[in-house]
Amino acid sequence: MNRMDVTEKIISTKVAKGLRWADVAAQLGRSKEWTTALCLGQMTATAEQAEALGGIFGLNDEEQRWLQVVPSKGSLATAVPTDPLVYRWYEVVNVYGSTLKELIHEEFGDGIMSAIDFSMDIQREADPKGDRVRVVLSGKFLPYKDY
């Protein structure tokens, strides 16, 4: 058994039971973004969180234990994603990558925006011309220092 087996069981159960990630997150008391990433094998649960998920998805002890093991992360099957929704995000990095780099450096100097001390919030933005997806990303700025 490995973490991927647990992820597959969670997804399978979610489809079979018709669950929603937002409801799972509410039961866990965490954001839907982090909770979904956890369920999809990208984050690590505490024992309590694992137990709670165990209740929702019918996971046994060993499966709950795997949720507490730090997973090998990365959810893209290929370097350039083929799924249209995910590709649009890759395209944003491709088209706006140099812009992001220039503007963050202009404001903060040399360094990066952390992808670890990081959170994400996804919301529907009502718009008469068609609703929009609004995603807020927040990451700590980490400066390079000389030494």
Q: 27, 50, 125, 128: which one contacts its own copies (CB under 8 A)?
A: 125
Whether the Cβ atoms of residue 71 and residue 41 lie closer than 8 Å to each other: yes
Rounded Cα distance between 132 and 58, Å, is: 35
Q: At its nearest, how many Å lie between its own copies and the CB of residue 54? A: 15
Q: At its nearest, how many Å lie between its own copies and the CB of residue 56? A: 15
Residues 79-98 that bind its own copies (CB under 8 A): 79-98
Residues 14-33 that bind its own copies (CB under 8 A): 15-16, 18, 20-22, 30-33
Rounded Cα distance between 84 and 89, Å, is: 9
Q: Does the protein bind its own copies through residue 101 (CB under 8 A)?
A: yes
Q: Does the protein bind its own copies through residue 34 (CB under 8 A)?
A: yes
Q: At its nearest, how many Å lie between its own copies and the CB of residue 29? A: 10
Per-residue CA distances from 9 to 17, 25, 62, 69 (Å) = 12, 17, 13, 16
Rounded Cα distance between 114 and 111, Å, is: 9
Q: At its nearest, how many Å lie between its own copies and the CB of residue 53? A: 12
Contact string 43-82 vs its own copies (x = CB under 8 A): xx-x--x------------x--xx--xx-xxxxx-xxxxx
Type of residue numbered 8: E
Give every CB contact of residue 88 below 8 A, 6+ residues apart in sequence: none
Q: Tell me if residue 114 is catalytic.
A: yes
**Length of the chain in residues, anyone?**
147
Residues annotated as catalytic are: 88, 91, 114
